[in-house]
């Protein structure tokens, strides 16, 4: 008599974001120039075709489109409308908004829900880029608690009328002396958001140093009625499991760890389903994925092959991390200008090279270095806006290009 081994016990249950049930409790962090429709499709497809563990797959994660400004959306900027586009089979359709003005934020949310352009709205209060924080936006904004409350309230009001959940993504604070995340988390919870996500670094850290996962645990203690998601330094499924174990968070948000590695979402689904199975593609499979990504980008840019190939260039080093590709081939790939040229270069590589293991793991993307956060004059003097700051913040969205 043979017996079947029992299915592994899941590490986390599915993630509930309003009316949406996210089978694998994993969220793709919005990244400018990365998480467009092409990349999200690639991740979903890899998840569907990859490891099926305990009924979960990477396709059941939540994939968020890259950030757009509410002003550009309301003005129906053509590039912004491209950025919020989704595949017909993409569910739920998730859009991240950046705003510094409650009225404009509310109008943008109304546009998304009344025109059936999104099933989930995420609000960005974590951007550390100087051109954003200099005008009081991004990670600088939660310091002004009533402005933060006003934006969240306006978007929740418009979205909830159509049963579209709203979430908030934020950082620990401006710097170690100006911490905002606990106040922001409690305000967001009180205003009716469906979940909060914390990148466990300050704006001053940017992407440098190590994320302080203990802040995620403290947020989980402070925010008790909605899911709390953790973000920062998740480079592998094992990192995600460690974060959950140490913080008690309800799910994870993955950013730079998936660069050139869309199969990470398959690994994460397997890990949270209790399986130790992982994807270890050889160079042939990796280059096939790279080629598919390039083709999807060309389609995303309405058949503009040159633009699609220029976009894929930044992904090449991430895909080839750890593989013996050679410096000359890597250099030529970084200048590729057509799909045929990409195919020719790939064809000259040793495609039988196996997954390199440790050399392909670890940190991806730029980490940068700590810095003094650029902010409006006297921004830290009070947690309320003065008249001069109110006028400056009103111009903040104008400084954010590309949607």
The active-site residue, picked from 43, 127, 249, 258, is 127
The count of C-alpha atoms lying within 13 angstroms of the C-alpha of 228, restricted to the half-sphere facing its C-beta, is 28
Comparing CA positions, the residue from 309, 308, 316, 318 lying closest to residue 366 is 318
- Residue given tokens 């075709």 in the structure block: 49
Whether residue 127 lies in the annotated active site: yes
How far, in Å, CA of 392 to CA of 376, rounded? Answer: 7
Burial class (CB in 10 A: 0-12, 13-18, 19+), 402: middle
Two structure tokens written together for 112: 């998304």
Residues in contact with 114: Cβ distance below 8 Å, sequence separation at least 6, in sequence order: 162
The CA–CA distances, whole Å, from 291 to 42, 89, 330 equal 11, 22, 15
Quick one: how far is CA 218 from the chain centroid? Answer: 22
The CA–CA distances, whole Å, from 314 to 41, 63, 141, 365 equal 18, 20, 30, 10
Two structure tokens written together for 138: 């991004």
User: Catalytic residues, which ones?
Assistant: 127
């Amino acid at each position: 008599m043979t017996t079947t081994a029992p299915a592994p016990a899941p590490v986390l249950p599915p993630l509930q974001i309003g009316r949406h049930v996210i089978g694998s409790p994993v969220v793709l962090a919005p990244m400018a120039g990365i998480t467009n429709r092409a990349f999200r499709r690639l991740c979903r497809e890899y998840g569907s075709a990859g490891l099926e563990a305990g009924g979960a797959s990477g396709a059941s994660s939540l994939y968020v489109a890259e950030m757009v400004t509410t002003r550009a959306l309301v003005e129906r900027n053509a590039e912004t409308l491209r950025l919020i586009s989704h595949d017909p089979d993409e569910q739920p359709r998730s859009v991240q908004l950046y705003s510094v003005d409650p009225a404009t934020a509310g109008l943008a949310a109304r546009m998304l829900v009344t025109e059936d352009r999104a099933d989930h709205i995420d609000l960005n209060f974590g951007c550390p880029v100087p051109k954003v924080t200099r005008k009081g936006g991004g990670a600088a904004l939660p310091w002004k608690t009533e402005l933060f409350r006003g934006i969240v309230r306006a978007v929740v009001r418009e979205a909830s009328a159509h049963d579209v959940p709203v979430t908030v993504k934020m950082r620990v604070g401006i710097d170690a002396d100006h911490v905002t995340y606990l106040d922001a988390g409690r305000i967001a919870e009180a205003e009716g958001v469906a979940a909060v996500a914390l990148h466990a670094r300050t704006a001053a850290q940017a992407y440098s140093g190590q994320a302080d996962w203990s802040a995620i645990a403290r947020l989980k203690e402070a925010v008790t009625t909605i899911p709390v998601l953790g973000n920062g330094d998740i480079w592998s499924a094992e990192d995600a499991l460690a974060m959950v174990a140490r913080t008690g968070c309800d799910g994870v948000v993955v950013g730079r760890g998936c660069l050139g590695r869309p199969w990470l979402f398959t690994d994460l689904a397997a890990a949270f389903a209790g399986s130790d199975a992982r994807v270890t593609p050889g160079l042939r499979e990796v280059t096939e994925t790279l080629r598919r990504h390039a083709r999807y980008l060309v389609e995303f840019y309405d058949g503009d092959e040159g633009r699609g190939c220029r976009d894929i260039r930044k992904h090449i080093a991430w895909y080839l991390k750890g593989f013996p590709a050679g410096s000359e081939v890597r250099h030529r790939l970084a200048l590729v200008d057509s799909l045929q040229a990409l195919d020719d270069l790939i064809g000259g590589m040793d495609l039988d090279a196996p997954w390199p293991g440790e050399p392909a793991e670890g940190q991806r993307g730029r980490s940068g270095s700590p810095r003094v956060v650029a902010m409006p004059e006297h921004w830290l003097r009070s947690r309320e806006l003065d008249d001069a700051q109110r006028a400056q913040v009103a111009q903040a969205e104008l400084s954010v290009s590309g949607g």
